Amino acid sequence: MPPAPQLTIIGLGLIGGSLGMAVRQARLGYQVVGHDLRHEAAGRARKLGAVDRAEWNLPAAVEAADVVVVATPVRAVQSTFRDVAPYLKPGCVVTDTASTKAQVLAWAAEILPPTVSFVGGHPMAGKETSGIDAADATLFGGCVYCITPGERADQDAVERVVSLATGVGAKPFFVDPTEHDSYVAAVSHLPFLLSTALVNVAAQSPAWRDLSRLAASGFRDVSRLASGDPVMHRDICLTNQESILRWLETLGAELSELARQIREGGDELEKSFQMAKQARDLWVASHEGPPGRPARWRCGAHPQ
Amino acid sequence: MPPAPQLTIIGLGLIGGSLGMAVRQARLGYQVVGHDLRHEAAGRARKLGAVDRAEWNLPAAVEAADVVVVATPVRAVQSTFRDVAPYLKPGCVVTDTASTKAQVLAWAAEILPPTVSFVGGHPMAGKETSGIDAADATLFGGCVYCITPGERADQDAVERVVSLATGVGAKPFFVDPTEHDSYVAAVSHLPFLLSTALVNVAAQSPAWRDLSRLAASGFRDVSRLASGDPVMHRDICLTNQESILRWLETLGAELSELARQIREGGDELEKSFQMAKQARDLWVASHEGPPGRPARWRCGAHPQ
């Protein structure tokens, strides 16, 4: 029997750890090697069954790898590419899990050797808890998994990443990296910023102690994303500035419009609310899975 | 045995219906009478066990009542007071469940006869689904129940409403009506407006069809409140304009500040995110109930 192909995960946080668990539990046939700057996280990943082997030396972790998954915060992807580039074997498939794609593809084209294939990836899954202890083999079940192949990626490499996505239960979705970044700015980065702004505005009020007693399930849900990892979200914002700023501006205009409608007290306000309700109810209905199966948007959802 | 005191609920939607169910299931000793403009809703309430008796004639519904709960959308509270005022028996306790309190107290002082006591109420519970079919006897379990007695309310009347709140499992919380309105503007009305603005901005984009495919659990949670009842929220906004507009302005300034930090790309952004995470994590921790019991903020929480 030939030895099992090696899959190396760099960055053993929520996403890297969950991916390792899912790959191992689905028996995709990989020897899973894990690396993390923090040795403690790598040790925990080994104990939790997220990797077959933790390798503290980065060159040693990647030199025999057939697939390398970079699952660090976005801005660390650049330095990780630099660190691993000299050690990748020809034909190696490199992928990532970052929430922004255009910048990552530019770094891959610039830094990775032409002997390897880069295929960008972004599983649309997450929780507001982070780190290896939050990892969960079922995190990707039913989720959309965006795939953005690099220009030099060969077909086999693309298929490898597609198999990896389907193997962990996700649904591959090919998308142009610039479109991806604009879309996720609207449906993922903007909601995070709204959550964060809401919490900061409420918590910085002198009345926060009283306010917080009255905050209930509505506040909890709209503020949930504010509990996410600050470094991850900073990196996302700084590698997707243009799209995020454009959506923030549109959102600001919509809030000003709602303020005007509240001030004037006419019929428009109810219409604005009805329009949102209708769009949101339709979206929820279209994302319900078949009966008896969890809804598509339930993936990675463990509200807290 | 003296006849059971009569509790009349006007408005058999999510809150009125849930209150009826909770009062009946907790065996608080009331004969529960229900009235709704829509006869269909009153009939459903009867079938679902939310009331002992549906009474389609409003004067007949209230003339023998010891307690009247007005659970209509906020702006209908005013006309309801007008409609019932001539028929209330002396000593009757009138309360409501509206999300804004200063305006309701002003209407009560102006319209209700001096022979009755008005004690405002606001159970901090809800779901994004509305109507009698969403009613749930456990909706108020563990929730904060704001209580704002009118100036003429006697002590017995206040105690009646406190008992009603504790009887359905909620925690009474005395609060000044103006403070109440400012607080809930921040932790309840503002989150609703953010949810609504997010959905409108995303759904009105020409790319919504593609965007919506990538929307996952983050979008779902931050947008949840946008599925709430448009009429109820319109009424809330129009009876709490000043507080809501003030909070919207503060929120707008915070979003502009975050946009500046994203544009400039310095260290401030991570600090803003950390601050929100810390405040939100503390809030979640402080709202966790004792082990084995649901957390306080879980009341009425059925994320969809």
pLDDT score of B290: 45
Q: Which residues of B touch A241 (CB under 8 A)?
A: 262-263, 265
Compute the distance between CA of residue A255 and CA of residue A248 in angstroms, rounded to an integer. Answer: 10
Mapped onto helix, strand or coil, the DSSP state of residue A6 is strand
| Mean pLDDT computed over A155-180 | 97
ipTM of the complex: 0.87
**Which chain A residue shows the shortest CA-CA distance from B130?**
A277
| Mean pLDDT computed over A80-91 | 98
Residue contact A214–B272, C-beta within 8 A: no
Compute the distance between CA of residue A289 and CA of residue A101 in angstroms, rounded to an integer. Answer: 27
| Mean pLDDT computed over A220-228 | 95
What does the DSSP 8-state code read for residue A85?
A: G
Cβ neighbors of A269 (< 8 A, separation 6 or more) are A258, A261, A262, B234, B237, B238
Residue contact A221–B225, C-beta within 8 A: yes
Residue contact B226–A301, C-beta within 8 A: no
Q: pLDDT band for position B2 (50/70/90)? A: confident
Best B222, B245, B267, B271 residue to mutate vs chain A (most A CBs within 10 Å):
B222
Tens-place pLDDT, residues B92-104 = 999 999 999 999 9
Residue contact A201–B297, C-beta within 8 A: no
| Mean pLDDT computed over A53-77 | 96
Best A18, A74, A75, A221 residue to mutate vs chain B (most B CBs within 10 Å):
A221
Residue B13 has pLDDT above 80, yes or no: yes
How far does the CA of residue A40 sit from the closest CA of chain B (Å)? 23
- Tokens, residue A193: 């910023």
Percent pLDDT > 70 in chain B is: 94
Tens-place pLDDT, residues B192-223 = 999 999 999 999 999 999 999 999 889 999 99
Question: Please, what are the domains in chain A?
Answer: 6-175 (3.40.50.720), 180-290 (1.10.3660.10)
> Which is it for the CA torsion A3, A4, A7, A8, positive or negative?
negative
Residue contact A187–B297, C-beta within 8 A: no
> Which is it for the CA torsion A186, A214, A299, A14, positive or negative?
positive
Residue contact A199–B255, C-beta within 8 A: no
pLDDT score of B288: 67
Percent pLDDT > 90 in chain A is: 90
Tens-place pLDDT, residues A97-138 = 999 999 999 999 999 999 999 999 999 988 778 899 999 999
Best A74, A139, A181, A214 residue to mutate vs chain B (most B CBs within 10 Å):
A214
Mapped onto helix, strand or coil, the DSSP state of residue A96 is strand
Distance from chain centroid for Cα A8: 18
DSSP string, chain B: -PPPPEEEEE--SHHHHHHHHHHHHTT-S-EEEEE-SSHHHHHHHHHTTS-SEE-SSHHHHHTT-SEEEE-S-HHHHHHHHHHHGGGPPTT-EEEE--S--HHHHHHHHHHS-TTSEEEEEEE----S--SGGG--TTTTTT-EEEEEE-TT--HHHHHHHHHHHHHTT-EEEE--HHHHHHHHIIIIIHHHHHHHHHHHHHHTSTTHHHHHHH--HHHHHHHGGGGS-HHHHHHHHHTSHHHHHHHHHHHHHHHHHHHHHHHH-SSHHHHHHHHHHHHHHHHHHHH--STTS--GGGTT----
Q: Which residues of B touch A75 (CB under 8 A)?
A: none
Residue B294 has pLDDT above 70, yes or no: no
Q: Tell the burial category of A198 from Cβ atoms under 10 Å away from its Cβ (0-12, 13-18, 19+).
A: buried
Model pTM?
0.87
| Mean pLDDT computed over A294-303 | 43
Q: Tell the burial category of B37 from Cβ atoms under 10 Å away from its Cβ (0-12, 13-18, 19+).
A: middle
Residue B292 has pLDDT above 90, yes or no: no
Length of chain B (residues): 304
Residue contact B284–A237, C-beta within 8 A: no
**Contact (Cβ atoms closer than 8 angstroms) between residue B105 and residue B120:** yes
Cβ neighbors of A110 (< 8 A, separation 6 or more) are none
How far does the CA of residue B235 sit from the closest CA of chain A (Å)? 9
**Contact (Cβ atoms closer than 8 angstroms) between residue B88 and residue B64:** no
